[in-house]
Amino acid sequence: MRLMLAFQAGNAAAFDRLVERNVKTVHALVYRFLREASMLDDITQEVFLRVYRYAPRYQPSAKFSTWLYRITANLCFNVMRSRKKRRAASLDAMGDDDSHREVPDPSQPSPQADLDAEERRRLAVEAVNRLPENQRLAIVLNKFHDLSYEDIAETMETTTMAVKSLLSRARANLRDDLQRQLKTD
């Protein structure tokens, strides 16, 4: 918060330090939402452009990190909404070109050894991505960024009780979704 206030007061170097201190956190949050490494730098840059642009509106009534998480989440939700609107490219359209396939690392255990764990992780990520936006945000902030209920409530502009309820519903939805997925496999 101190750096943001210094930046608001005209200290340009404070903004640079603000970016340095928070870029890894923003990267991690963007990746948790979008699961696409190719977009990390672009979305992160856009987050900090918005911080710069909206600096005069920042009010120190909440933690800076809360404000930053909200900006990041909103941008990620916008990207996810636009993805839904676009049609995904068909795998058939890619043809039989083998150049896009991953090459296994011989220094690692065989792919078969990690297949079950990787499949469970993939199913869990997909289940989290199917949650409603507010539940997904609460889960990501709580489980992957270790934010307290109070900090999540500030970020989401709601009450602590509402956060507890969101997390409870999100966990139930995840459990139901994963059980359905495991039954169909």
Domains, the chain, with CATH or none: 1-85 (1.10.1740.10), 111-185 (1.10.10.10)
List all residues 6 or more positions away from 47 whose beta carbon is below 8 Å from its beta carbon: 26, 30, 68, 71, 72, 75
What is residue 182's predicted lDDT score, i.e. its pLDDT? 80
Per-residue pLDDT, 4? 92
Q: pTM for the whole thing?
A: 0.66
**CB within 8 A of 2, min separation 6: which ones?**
none
| Among 182, 100, 107, 167, residue whose Cα is nearest residue 136 | 167
What's the confidence (pLDDT) of residue 124?
85
pLDDT of residue 166: 95
pLDDT score for 90: 41
The 3-state secondary structure of 23-56, one letter per residue: HHHHHHHHHHHHCCHHHHHHHHHHHHHHHHHCHH
Q: Does residue 141 contact residue 151 with C-beta atoms inside 8 Å?
A: yes
With a cut of 50, list the residues of the chain below it in pLDDT. Answer: 87-101, 113
User: What is the per-residue pLDDT for 100?
Assistant: 47
Distances (CA, A) of 167 to 94, 144, 146: 39, 13, 13
- pLDDT one-digit tens code per residue, 78-117: 888 887 777 444 444 444 444 444 555 555 555 554 556 7
